[in-house]
Each structure stands twice: as structure tokens, then as C-alpha cells.
Amino acid sequence: MQKPQRLIPAAALDSGFPAVCVVPAAGSGVRLGAGVPKPSRKIGGLPIAVRTLRMLLRSWKFEEVFMPVEPTRIAATQRLLSRHGLSGVRVIAGGRTRSESVRNAFGQVRPGKKVVLIHDVARPFLDSRHVREVLRMARKKRAALLAQRSTATVKQTSGAAPVVLRTLDRRCIYLAQTPQAFSYRLLQAGYAKNDWRPERFTDEAGMAEAAGFKVWLVEGPSSNIKITTPADLCLAKALLKAGANALK
């Protein structure tokens, strides 16, 4: 059995203001293949969930870290995290969708003047600096997300037919990533204004926008990929080999 990684002591971590972290991990990983839940799939000898959590836990002294998972996998996930020295993470029941899982976790966050950071479990290749930048932007502006500037030419259609309506100015296009972070009260208001039904939104930033709040961008790296398909897994292994994630 692999020896648990020794994490940075809590006293050495940045904790300029209170924050909690939510790491949705209830996806089945069907598109990834191999019949293994995505959080448990290994890259470079470590499960994806372990890599992501270690990155987050070395970035900030979070009050609490929640990981919503598929309900039948709560005990197995707790055992997995315990083997890797991550037993302090609260593993809870996720929902049918990512947005429901985040809402479930938010319902267990103690109210207060704090920032809630949300990061996909399948994005392990992020450095601590970007986590801190998003947290600080959310502290200052109440809502922030990491996003990558588009380098592609983007075409817009009507959605009803594959006919180009216009070419968008890529200088104004950003591809949303995580982490995304919000003040507790703004996220609470966002849920309330959408009747606590976030299912129609693909991320919490979209829900906040629909509720009338401004969301601020922090430019993120192209290496912050989301591992979803076998092709992503190949890219993740290449990034790991190239040293995109120093925590082995």
C-alpha cells in the first residue's frame, strides 16, 4: 500500500479569511471507460480525487472540505481517502447532477461571512496560486471563476440548424473552468432566486449571472483540463510526465 503523502502543516497555509471547499465527485465516469468511477481512476499511480484534494489542501486552510459522491460509494470513498491521509474530507451524498451535488454540499455549510470555493474533482492539474487568486477575487468582488481565454475561432448558430449566424470576437470569449468561488450570502441568494433548483445551469457562475450578480474572471492556464474522456486521460498522463503537477 502506498505511503500517505504528508500534507503541508495547517499553520503554514494561507488563511487570510474563512473559506470552505466543495469538490463534486458524483459522476459515474462512463465516458472515461474502464468501469472505474472517475475519482478512483489512477494517473501516475494516484487516484484523480487524491491528486485534486492534495492540490486544494496545500493551497488554503479551508474550514471544511466537502466531497459529494454517488451515495452507494460513500464508504468506499472514505476508505480511499483515509488510505491517503485525507480522512478530514467530509464525504457526503451527491445528487443526480453536478449542480445538485454542489447544492447538497452547500446545504451543510455553516452560514457566515465566508467564501465558498467549488472545484471539479477531475481537474487535478492546477497550481495553488490560481486557487488563491480566485478566492481573493471572490472575497473582493463576491463572485469569481477561473477561465481560459479562447484561442479558437468561434462560430455561433441558431441551435436549430448547423448554419453559421455569426463569428464571435474571440478576444471577448473565455472558456469557463473551475475553481469558482462566491461569498456565502451571494450563493445563498443565487439559489433562492432560482427556487433552489440549479439543474438548468451547467455551473454556479451561470446561476449567479441569472440571479443578476456580476461574476469576475481570473485567467487560467490551458493545463487545467477536465478529465472526462480517454483522450483527456492520455493528455493528463502527458501533463504529469511534463511536470504540470509537482505533487506526486
Q: Could you read off the pLDDT of 100-149 as tens digits, one per residue?
A: 999 999 999 999 999 999 999 999 999 999 999 999 999 999 999 999 99
Which grid coordinates are listed for 11?
A: 499553520
For residue 88, the 8-state DSSP code is T
Contact 25, 48 (CB under 8 A): no
In the predicted structure, residue 211 carries a pLDDT above the cut 90: yes
Nearest to 240 by CA among 79, 42, 65, 107: 42
Structural domains present in the chain: 16-242 (3.90.550.10)
Instruction: Give CA–CA dist 130/119, Å, rounded.
Output: 12
Cell of 197: 433548483
What is the C-alpha separation between 117 and 24, in angstroms, rounded? 11
Query: How high is the pLDDT of residue 6?
Result: 40
Contact 185, 143 (CB under 8 A): no
Q: State the pLDDT confidence band at 39, using cuts at 50, 70 and 90.
A: confident
CB 51 within 8 A of CB 127: no
Residue-wise pLDDT for 43-73, tens only, equals: 999 999 999 999 999 999 999 999 999 999 9
Question: Residues 20, 109: contact at Cβ < 8 Å?
Answer: yes
28 Cβ contact partners less than 8 Å away, ≥ 6 residues apart:
37, 38, 70
User: How many Å apart are CA 65 and CA 171, to the nearest integer?
Assistant: 35
Phi first, then psi: give them for residue 68, nearest 5 degrees.
Answer: -75, 130
- Per cent of the chain over pLDDT 70 is 89
E strands, the chain, are: 19-22, 42-43, 46-47, 65-69, 90-93, 115-118, 143-149, 154-157, 164-168, 174-183, 216-219
